[in-house]
Chain A
Amino acid sequence: GENVEQHPSTLSVQEGDSAVIKCTYSDSASNYFPWYKQELGKRPQLIIDIRSNVGEKKDQRIAVTLNKTAKHFSLHITETQPEDSAVYFCAARSQAAGNKLTFGGGTRVLVKP
């Protein structure tokens, strides 16, 4: 089955700096890659996603890149703000695997004011 690895597990950045989280996946049939943000005690919220037919997608201060050949994708947050502090999860979905999402282990991001 699909295996998703996520790094780093924790990330501390200064407010205004950029944050980058990287994920790798194992199933070459995976074609949808969402990113979720989970604040303490709350549900995971979808913040951005990318499909395998594009290499990059941007939404204001967040962007995601996908390298299908290398089977990795990354989340980039620019001009970080304290409210970006949360746990971020990447995931991969494959139609061949019944369209189920496999999640990475999460990255705890702390933005220091």
Chain B
Amino acid sequence: EAGVAQSPRYKIIEKRQSVAFWCNPISGHATLYWYQQILGQGPKLLIQFQNNGVVDDSQLPKDRFSAERLKGVDSTLKIQPAKLEDSAVYLCATRGGLNNEQFFGPGTRLTVL
């Protein structure tokens, strides 16, 4: 079974620039999450999709972050403009299958200079 795919794996940008991350879920997984993991901390949920609809975006800084999952499969997360404190690993995860388990992608490590 193919896992969750993410790209790019690494990104370095300057503050005030824009950046976008892409996630391809495990086939058939309807639920997709974006997490932010700051070094030394646990993953923090940014947004949850069920198919192409948003279930929870209460912790998404909507003034600069946006996400979409237009066709209910792939998803993109955008930051515009980036701040220094956005430096983190952005993890995509999807949930589904027989046991309804949640699997993470490899993450995108973002460094904002």
State the Cβ distance, B24 to closest chain A Cβ, in Å. 14
By a CB distance below 8 angstroms, the chain B residues around A32 are: 100
Asked, given contacts A46-B101, A89-B42, whether A100 binds B56 with beta carbons under 8 Å apart, the answer is yes
Complex CA–CA separation, A46 to B91 (angstroms): 14
Q: Are B104 and A44 in contact (CB under 8 A)?
A: yes
Q: Are B106 and A43 in contact (CB under 8 A)?
A: yes
Residue of B nearest to A49 (CB): B101
Asked, given contacts A34-B101, A99-B31, A100-B56, whether A42 binds B106 with beta carbons under 8 Å apart, the answer is yes
Chain A CB count within 10 A is highest, among B43, B56, B107, for: B43
- Is the contact region of chain B dominated by helix, strand, or loop, or is it mixed? strand
Q: Are B104 and A43 in contact (CB under 8 A)?
A: yes
Q: Report which of A44, A98, A99 forms a contact with B43, defined as CB distance below 8 A.
A: A44
Q: Report which of B33, B55, B95, B107 forms a contact with A43, defined as CB distance below 8 A.
A: B107
Q: Mark A72-113, 1 if CB is under 8 A from B, else 0.
A: 000000000000000001000000001111111110000000
Asked, given contacts A98-B56, A100-B56, whether A106 binds B42 with beta carbons under 8 Å apart, the answer is yes
Q: Are B33 and A104 in contact (CB under 8 A)?
A: no
Q: Report which of B40, B45, B102 forms a contact with A46, defined as CB distance below 8 A.
A: B102
Q: Are B102 and A101 in contact (CB under 8 A)?
A: yes
State the Cβ distance, B60 to closest chain A Cβ, in Å. 13
State the Cβ distance, B3 to closest chain A Cβ, in Å. 9
Q: Are B102 and A104 in contact (CB under 8 A)?
A: no
Complex CA–CA separation, A101 to B37 (angstroms): 14
By a CB distance below 8 angstroms, the chain A residues around B31 are: 99
By a CB distance below 8 angstroms, the chain A residues around B48 are: 98, 100
> Besides the contacts A6-B42, A43-B104, A44-B91, what 10 more A-B pairs have beta carbons closer than 8 Å?
A44-B43, A45-B104, A49-B101, A89-B43, A98-B48, A99-B95, A100-B55, A101-B102, A103-B44, A106-B40
A-binding residues in B (CB < 8 A): 31, 33, 40-45, 48, 55-56, 91, 95, 100-107
Please provide the 7 A-B residue pairs with the shortest distance between their CB atoms, ordered closest to farther. Answer: A103-B42, A43-B104, A44-B104, A43-B106, A98-B55, A106-B42, A98-B56
